[in-house]
Structure 1
Amino acid sequence: MTEPLIPGSHVAEVELQIDQVTVVNPDEATATVRCILGPARRGARFDRIRGSAGAIDLELTQILAHFGRSVDELDPVHTALVTLRGTGVELLTSATPRSGWQAIQGINPPP
């Protein structure tokens, strides 16, 4: 397991749990998420799905929280509607009682 902060940098690890996902096109999805490690900032890059070998390279491009207000970051335990763009959108899945929650992991951009 990696450390939450990469030594020698200000890049922190982030993780989002996906509740509902809508694939907008092959390179973009919107998802209702809960931040479980963060805060997750706009520009964060996600390169893995917890427990999966599937390759992703997704950027967090928009966060809509607090009744649809655009914000720059999402604090842990809070939920928001986010936009993710990049490779691997088709691997994202909505939570179901059978499958549980999918979580994507990555790092924030430098401050």
Structure 2
Amino acid sequence: MTSTLEGIPRYLMEAAAMGVPVAAYVIPGIDQLVIPQHTGLLAAFGDQTTLLAHWNTLLDQPDFGQTLAKGGLDFVHRHSSAKRMTEEYTQLFYRVREVAQS
């Protein structure tokens, strides 16, 4: 991913959720999703040489890429899934109701 500005990197999350290993620039938003060497690979913003090297690593080392893909998939499911957000909203609504009733 070569974005220069992201709020919530949805298509990067979608790629991770599909088990695709990712490499991107370190920018706000992406830095919340990609944990280097665990959920993907990061290059300093504008460092095209390193980003290209990361892409080549993912192509040349498929086992490593699959390890990163699994890490990304697990991270997205734990932190960004609709199920997780539903559970958090449900907990919030119960807390609001308790406060309102007291």
Structures share a fold, TM > 0.5?
no
Structure 2 length as normaliser, TM-score? 0.25
Task: Give the structure, 1 or 2, with the largest relative contact order (CA under 8 Å, sep 6 or more).
Answer: 1
Structure 1 length as normaliser, TM-score? 0.24
Which of the pair has more CA radius of gyration?
2
Structure with a larger share of its residues in strand: 1
